[in-house]
Copies of this chain bind each other. A is one copy, B any other.
Amino acid sequence: MRGPAAGGYKERRVTPSALNPIGVFDSGVGGLTVYKALRAVLPCESFVYLGDTARLPYGTKSAETVAQYALQAARRLMREEIKLLVVACNTASALALPVLRNSLDGVACLGVIEPGAREAARTSKTGHIAVLATESTVRSGSYAAAIRSFRPDAEVRMLGCNLLVSLAEAGWHEGPEAEAVIARYLRELGTGFDTLVLGCTHFPLLVPAIRNRIGPEIAIVDSAVTTARSVRDYLAAHNLRSPSTESGTTQFWATDTPECFTRIAWPFLGDEAMPPVLHVQL
């Protein structure tokens, strides 16, 4: 089993360098929507993307298990001298961010929930906000808490939509099957909100079908884009942006085989050429 060349284990880092890569962690391939947004906003940065494809999905699993997996992944990325960890998975952000922040002293850890929540709080006119997420993210209550931290009067409703994950991974983004599944979830969600948060990195692939169902008036918040902007702002504020003379590179790592990653990643990469992938064990 191959693994990337690894430096010594170093959990505490006090001199992060602007030239170091950004670590991006996801349960599998959904985080590629966040990675693509990051690359678009930060073309001079280098990335190490780790997808835990051998244990995906996280959205059906317990907080204990997700926190354990996330910590293993984060520790592996820390060995690459990353300057920042982006948790590009809503479920891991919801269930593991406090554990990660307590454990990875010296490197900041940004999730996707806070940026999405801030954007939703800012966007909504009425304060009535709905969130589609995985079952595990919903159970955590993280989105409602994060939205209310920015807007205490917000009325937040959340719905677990695990089947949307499967639709996105199957590449069935439109058509009668996607429409039927989305229609059922949106019926369960009810009406009366003016802002809809896509609380799972898979859901941006389903935006045309969701938009088709909810009509043009409701704002859709995609946390991939808002997270990328938050990362850019964080790097700038901490003097950690890579010089504009650099051209960023990306390494893709996966806990299942490279072939497995390639097979399930295609709906998320679109026209991008499939990169080589390294197999790592956590």
Q: Does the CB pair B166–A177 fall under 8 Å?
A: no
Least CB distance from A209 to B in Å reads 12
Residues of B within 8 A of A99 (CB): none
Please give the count of copies of this chain that the complex contains: 2
Q: Does the CB pair A257–B60 fall under 8 Å?
A: no
Q: Does the CB pair A180–B169 fall under 8 Å?
A: no
Of the 9-residue stretches A35-43, A48-56, A80-88, A227-235, which lies at the interface with chain B?
A48-56
Q: Which label, helix, strand, loop or mixed, suits the secondary structure of the A interface?
A: helix
Residues of B within 8 A of A282 (CB): none
Q: Does the CB pair B60–A56 fall under 8 Å?
A: yes
Residues of B within 8 A of A163 (CB): 163, 166-167, 170, 172, 177
Q: How far is the CA of A260 from the CA of B180 in the complex (A)?
A: 27
Least CB distance from A274 to B in Å reads 16
Q: How far is the CA of A61 from the CA of B165 in the complex (A)?
A: 16
A176 in contact (CB, < 8 A)? yes
Q: Does the CB pair A169–B60 fall under 8 Å?
A: yes
A 154-168 contacts with B by CB, 8 A? 162-163, 165-167
A108 in contact (CB, < 8 A)? no
